[in-house]
Amino acid sequence: MFVFSKQEKIVLLLIVTVIITIFGCRFYLQEKNKITILPSNQENLSIQQNVADTSQEEIYIIHIAGAVKQPGVYQISSGERIIDVVKMAGGALEKAHLDMVNLAAPIHDGQKIIIPFIPEERKGELSGMAEQGLTMPEFNYDANSGLININSATARELESLPGIGPVLAERILEFRKNNGIFRRIEDIKGVSGIGQKRFDAIKEMITTH
């Protein structure tokens, strides 16, 4: 059995104290490092979550035609309005009949938006009414589908189509009266003066029902 002198006991106690101090400091530093790393991990998690939320934003495919500067198919973020699609398409033409369209309406994926034209003979009339603060006359225009029904449209409504003036509009009405309703939109080519080229210009804007 070892017997330590008083001096040896003091030295041994000092050694034990130093060892405990060293291990205590190492443990403290390890715990401190863990505490400082934790906010960084939380920040990274928050960033990753934000990136994930952004990547989940829906993109809609929209087709816009009619009286706009750059008609075509566009990609646009969900939650946008028809006015945003019009702007994306370069804006409306001067002859666009914007009073017929609800520019504040929300869009949906796969939607086709058609901006109608103002009939040529009515441009001056509508301009004068606007200057006087009068209410614009309404057209038989389906804002949901964006199409003009050639089986029920009036002459003025038909004239809102590109290339269709008063003469052709009356011919369409006469054809409809003599031959009955149009079964297909292609049947309108049976009207004198409406060939393939003119039909191609209006086929995306008309319907038979």
Sign of the C-alpha dihedral computed for residues 35, 39, 41 and 45 taken in this order: positive
Domain identity same for 70 and 138: no
**pLDDT score, position 131:** 52
Q: How many structural domains comprise the chain? A: 3
Is 62 a domain residue?
Answer: yes
Predicted TM-score of the model (pTM): 0.46
| Amino acid 129: pLDDT | 47
From the list 142, 131, 50, 40, the residue with the least C-alpha distance to 100 is 142
Residue 69: domain span? 57-115
Spatial separation of the C-alpha atoms in residues 155 and 173, rounded to whole Å: 7
Residue 87 is given by DSSP the state: H
Rounded Cα–Cα distance for residues 109 and 146 (Å): 15
- The per-residue pLDDT for 36 is 47
- Indicate left, alpha or beta for 3 from its phi (over 0: left) and psi (-120 to 50: alpha): beta
Q: Are residues 104 and 127 in the same domain?
A: no
- Determine the pLDDT at residue 174: 94
In a domain, 170, yes or no: yes
Q: What is the mean pLDDT of each run of 10 residues along the chain (209 residues)?
A: 70 81 76 52 56 67 90 91 94 87 88 81 50 45 67 88 91 93 94 93 88
